[in-house]
Amino acid sequence: MAKYACPYCAGFAHTSGAIPNPNEWLLISDEDRDGMQESINSDELYKQFLHLFKCVSCEAIAIFWAGLSEAPTWYEPKHQSKNAV
């Protein structure tokens, strides 16, 4: 199972495994979506998506901006205090 170590905790993000992957989101910009044909092959559509994976421990996110063959950019989670207004 492919996984990337989280830089913020001892957790990791799985990039393979169960399908659908409960820790994966597929992203596409509005601009890219608007540029698509009304009808598109699902394999072609999948190629257009960016992949986002969530750390299983702290919920940091890893976004693969340059495809799954390149390292992701990690984003630290912001947790609100329970007393926040």
In the chain, DSSP assigns E strands to: 3-5, 12-14, 24-27, 50-54, 61-64, 73-75
Predicted confidence (pLDDT) at residue 1 exceeds the cutoff of 70: no
Give the pLDDT band of residue 80 (cuts 50, 70, 90).
low
pLDDT in tens, 18-74: 888 888 999 988 888 887 777 778 888 888 899 999 998 998 999 999 988 899 999
* 52 burial via Cβ count (<10 Å: 0-12, 13-18, 19+): middle
* Torsion, CA 68, CA 70, CA 72, CA 73, rounded to 10: -140
CA angle 46-62-64, nearest 5°?
Answer: 40
Predicted confidence (pLDDT) at residue 7 exceeds the cutoff of 90: yes
Q: What is the pTM (predicted TM-score) of this model?
A: 0.78
